[in-house]
Structure 1
Amino acid sequence: MALRRVLGLGGALGRRSCCSKRPLPPDFVEALRAVVGGPNVSTAMAVREQHGHAVSMHVCAPPDAVVWPQAVGQVQELAALCYRCRVPMVPFGTGTGLEGGVNAVQGGVCFDLSRMDAIAELSLEDFSVTVEPGVTRKALNSHLRGTGLWFPVDYRADTSLCGMAATGALSTNMVCYSTMQPHMLNLGVVLPDGSLLHTTSPGPRPARGCSTDICVPTSCLPAMVVETKRDTQDSGLTVGHIGDSNFHCLLIFHPQDLAKAQRIHAFTQLLASSETNPGLWMEGGRNKRKGDDGHSPSPLYQQSSSPPVHMGVSMYMFIYTR
């Protein structure tokens, strides 16, 4: 409250929400009820005030009406209706946001998505799940219990996944598991005019792959990258990236392509044997072991005086979308 007084936010927000609002068009509430049914529309002040703020410092700015759609088609119809009548739309998940995004500073209609809480499809093979926007992170992890899978974005509050997607939610686990953004494979987005947009086009299910994470002494890294690049060009298997004292080889394949799986196995065996024996890199011995390919061992191999160190090769599965 003291901060509001210092910044003058309380009065400013209150004046804006009162002065810039326009009344709903005649029969507009009845049109809302025609889409979602009477029990799923409310204009009661208590309900409106409940949806006019979350847990932020901003003063309550209630909408003119609250609706509870229960299907994507209803959301599209409601959005199209509001768009035609120039009525503001405010989505609402669980009301745990800190940004003030649910405050209806110009009135309008609040879309409470909490009743769209179905978990439509779980693919254990693809490590993916299809959910409706009202599903919360705790409900999802409860559904996943016993499968060996886990949704790691922990916002502490039991937030809705739609709200986490909308705000790009951070996480107490983000050092290990990142933020919300990389966990979203595809979104179904209802645009203001009621049309539906998918952020990823429909196509084949995500393919499976194998990622090799190599951690090496910094002094050996350039030489290892040069030689591994030659191996990957020969195999035609790989894309990857390099970081601080490590590099990643992403081996993309279809689980039913047995021939390619065998090539990947041979490549990872070659890579692992070299990474766990740094002496091959330091002395240029790997070129000799691979056979005479017409070029001399790289001088990078001979620049390190570090003693041999045993290095681990970490293998894990990953999912990508095409």
Structure 2
Amino acid sequence: MFTPNHTNFSHPTFFLASAPGLGSAGFWLAFPLCSVYLMALAGNGAVVFIVRTEMSLHSPMYFFLCMLAAIDLVLSTCTMPRLLFLLWFDAREISFGACLIQMFFIHSMSAIESTILLAMAVDRYMAICHPLRHAAVLTNPVTVKIGLAAVARGVMFFLPLPLLILRLTFCGSKVLSHSYCLHQDVMNLACTSTTVNVIYGLAAIVLVMGLDSLLIALSYFMIIKAVLQLSSRRERVRAFSTCVAHLCVVLAFYVPLIGLSVVHRFGKNLTPLVHVIMGDIYLLVPPLLNPVVYGVRTKQIRRRILRCILHQ
């Protein structure tokens, strides 16, 4: 029995948002979403496998790409199966503990992905602006250390979010705005003061995603400045072309993130369907697009994938 307003102060059960207004169409919507999820798994899994097994790809740029694919695998896997289960079986209930675990993985993985995107921007900056120092500075051991630092940063900044939720009391509606658990969404259901949650959540977002986006923009400003100083038009086009894939991935990550933040801050009067769609786009688009973009733009990965397909 669906009773979203029942009271449980210690361990409340939350109710995920399905696609309102779709009715039975939500059941059929799950099939294309399942296809998207399987394509994301196959694409990112292929990238991880190819980079790991192809010795010629054991360089910083491809290691960063492998990390990005691994993050997308974790992000999509911690959200999509639950969404499909919701649409097919109307299983909207999620326990308090499961909600906090999902919240931690979503926020921490997003932070790690943001850090890796920044590292890839620095890699492009070094390759274009300081090509002679690039190989000496960004070595494989340094790349591994950057990956470990990204994980530590994501955990350090976003582990407190579910811990801060533990101190809140929930005594009203338990219906979330999305088909998964986000800190700001769960926090808004509390009937006690959320000032600490608001301040810390905003600080974490600004110090991670906000700072990363500014540094990425600064990296590309310096890249553009250096490229425009090249005398040959052909050299300028070639230099810019090495950044196209990374720019597409950056936009695929930050545009839905900004859109979701705007909807949360200023979209209280919007229909629930808008919140659900923006939330699903935020978690579905990057895992699907990233392997496609790099598969198309990277010759080595494209050739290896074609070789695997043709040999089967």
Tell me if both proteins adopt one fold, taking TM over 0.5 as the criterion: no
Looking at CA atoms only, which structure, 1 or 2, has the larger radius of gyration?
A: 1
Q: Please state which structure has a larger fraction of its residues in strand.
A: 1
**TM, length-normalised to structure 2:** 0.25
TM-score, structure 1 length as denominator?
Answer: 0.25
